[in-house]
A and B are shown apart, each in its own frame.
Chain A
């Protein structure tokens, strides 16, 4: 008995496909880098500072909550860093440090940790933070106002604000290629459409985000905007391509609406959820009070997510009572 070898005894399955939380979150961050770099190039050191500070404070808040709640430190799973990065990608490069600090506090503590941490958040934490920040400090998050001191070789008006204020005639100066290539004002990492699409396709191919949500989101935006342009009042609404390439549409479709905990997992619910986000985005942009509708539409669909996700296939051998 004394020379017994000690074997590892555990339960089946004895194999695992090797996926992990940290791989998942780090890969989403990796995929976001191409979209952040144009922001760094355009806005220089300030953008770098905002991104770094946002990631750092998000991780610090996570650790603070872990310590207070006496939970194992969970910053290693990469989710806090991801929240910090996504938040920084959406805000202007001129955002003051304290707003970033408050933003990550809202995202990590209120958006995620008080609901029970990773996986338990009913809303996308970044969206919660963005909604509260932009409602609280309008001036800081109004891109026209925030980026006043910058002048690049493209139209320096925020496309969606121009559309809202002056109608589609005002946006005729934006070429679609410019919008796609990131030659527009906006958040640090949310303007360069092509980079976001590349990152998004990478995540879809690797299985880190659910393609159904992204595709139906973009589909919802496209179809709704098209319907407005075709049947709406003449000369009042912009075309669908403009809506796809401006504001938070692309980052929303690939990085925000696809947040795991707050989005559905069944096929039909994913389509409904994505399409719902897209439709709401255009409704808010076209007939709502706000310039961009992505943040609020995702929050709204997050709210509906548990209900939508009840639509599920019949399990094997389930007896349906008539």
Chain B
């Protein structure tokens, strides 16, 4: 953990971990017994379920779980469905969890191989919505306005993580193939790849326009990339696609290229795993592999009171169980020892101004948090720039009073979105 420097007048300097040439190739880790996959379909009455417990599935097979839902999951192993159950994700997001028990014999599904002979957007939507790196198919299919500009994030957006950099370093040719396919099957015409300085040579071979980001956190945040590097400052709160821009992880694009090249759906995700003493390892695991399989393979032993962080230290989420699986968007897993876990407090803001000085979006955090604490989300959004927040977490990181500001902001955005959708339904 990086602490405040003795000379507190200086801003804390948090820098991304730039991958170096000597990083060994990711170690391949295979799920031991079961995998768990999540579908964004809401678990509904039993008679709507298309698959049953006990059904056989093959590796790379597409499984549509619910009748009337477009969403599906791609099994990363062949085996038997062991359970289908509702699952509550972060912020109460309703999902369906499918556990698949692995068979000894692994065989691959051929459905996609057949379809992939002629790449099309339909095939991509039908089979590749859950590529490692979370490929945003729904955004690319949008027609009003057409998404024409693709920003490929070859730089990890959180500290310590090196997953995307690893992809740019080793799979530039796959990214290039991905770009070629997207050019053919979507409206995209501009491709920009954002990488750290050290990887700009590797990035050139992808054929996309190369832009470099400075190493200081949070310069690789998509909002700041758009503002500082592409010179496009979007109105606060607007999603990128509203302005014809999509942001995609380099890994998803490489996976897309590989999928059509090898005619099989990639199911391995690159992860940065950081143990308690800070040792960093890159691994490649099947989507759905429980974290405990990764920990035992790497000889990491989480204890009671430790914290498992999915993602980076500034913006990640914490898991409550070692059984949590690797998801398509899991870029990193960090184990934080209980002795170094910082706690939040219920102190009030003392108006020291640290948050305001560090905020990259120039939000009046100290005023904002007063409204958020009081639950006045509308007021916070209208008068104190709630939606300008780019969710970097720096305000909570420097907060002298240890207020969970970032969580207040996330909660406020979530609540406002919920109120908005409830209003939309009632009209």
A314-B352 in contact (CB<8A): no
List chain B residues, Cβ under 8 A from A8. Answer: 305-307, 318, 338, 341
Known contacts A13-B397, A21-B401, A315-B388; A4 and B353 CB within 8 A of each other: no
Q: How far is the CB of A257 from chain B (nearest CB, A)?
A: 14
Instruction: Select one of B4, B308, B314, B353 contacting A19, CB under 8 A.
Output: B4
Q: Roughly how many angstroms separate A16 CA and B403 CA in the complex, as a whole number? A: 11
A7-B305 in contact (CB<8A): yes
| Interface status of B62 (Cβ within 8 A of chain A) | no
Interface hits, B301-326 → A, CB 8 Å:
302-309, 311, 313-322
List chain B residues, Cβ under 8 A from A16. Answer: 1, 342, 396-397, 399, 402
| Interface status of A20 (Cβ within 8 A of chain B) | yes
B336-A14 in contact (CB<8A): yes
| Interface status of B362 (Cβ within 8 A of chain A) | yes
User: Which residue on chain A has the smallest CB distance to residue B311?
Assistant: A12
Interface of A is mostly: loop
Known contacts A17-B3, A265-B353, A316-B390; A9 and B307 CB within 8 A of each other: yes
Q: Roughly how many angstroms separate A11 CA and B298 CA in the complex, as a whole number? A: 26
B410-A315 in contact (CB<8A): no
Q: How far is the CB of A297 from chain B (nearest CB, A)?
A: 20
Q: How many residues of A contact B (CB 8 A)?
A: 45
List chain B residues, Cβ under 8 A from A18. Answer: 1, 3-4, 342
Instruction: Select one of A207, A314, A319 contacting B362, CB under 8 A.
Output: A314
User: Which residue on chain A has the smallest CB distance to residue B90?
Assistant: A11
Interface of B is mostly: loop
Instruction: Select one of A5, A21, A119, A315 contacting B236, CB under 8 A.
Output: A315
| Interface status of B400 (Cβ within 8 A of chain A) | yes
Interface hits, A42-73 → B, CB 8 Å:
none
B410-A11 in contact (CB<8A): yes
B362-A316 in contact (CB<8A): yes
Q: Roughly how many angstroms separate A92 CA and B67 CA in the complex, as a whole number? A: 83
B393-A12 in contact (CB<8A): yes
Q: Roughly how many angstroms separate A77 CA and B308 CA in the complex, as a whole number? A: 31
| Interface status of A6 (Cβ within 8 A of chain B) | yes
| Interface status of B54 (Cβ within 8 A of chain A) | no
| Interface status of B349 (Cβ within 8 A of chain A) | yes
User: Which residue on chain B has the smallest CB distance to residue A10?
Assistant: B318
B318-A7 in contact (CB<8A): yes
B398-A19 in contact (CB<8A): yes
B235-A319 in contact (CB<8A): yes
A12-B315 in contact (CB<8A): yes
Q: Roughly how many angstroms separate A210 CA and B356 CA in the complex, as a whole number? A: 12
Instruction: Select one of A4, A208, A265 contacting B356, CB under 8 A.
Output: A265
| Interface status of B9 (Cβ within 8 A of chain A) | yes
B313-A15 in contact (CB<8A): yes
| Interface status of A117 (Cβ within 8 A of chain B) | yes
B313-A5 in contact (CB<8A): no
List chain A residues, Cβ under 8 A from B322. Answer: 5, 7
B385-A315 in contact (CB<8A): yes
| Interface status of B39 (Cβ within 8 A of chain A) | no
Known contacts A5-B304, A7-B305, A265-B353; A15 and B314 CB within 8 A of each other: yes
- Taking A14-B336, A316-B385 as known contacts, 15 extra A-B pairs with beta carbons closer than 8 A to each other, sorted by chain A number, are A8-B318, A9-B320, A11-B404, A11-B406, A12-B407, A14-B307, A14-B313, A14-B318, A16-B1, A24-B352, A116-B348, A119-B350, A211-B9, A260-B351, A317-B236
**25 interchain pairs, CB-CB under 8 A:** A5-B302, A7-B306, A7-B319, A8-B341, A9-B318, A11-B317, A12-B406, A14-B318, A14-B334, A14-B341, A15-B313, A17-B397, A17-B398, A18-B3, A20-B400, A24-B352, A117-B348, A118-B347, A119-B351, A265-B356, A314-B362, A316-B227, A316-B360, A316-B362, A317-B238
The 9 A-B residue pairs whose C-beta atoms are closest, nearest first, are: A207-B8, A265-B353, A317-B236, A16-B342, A316-B361, A13-B393, A315-B385, A315-B388, A119-B350
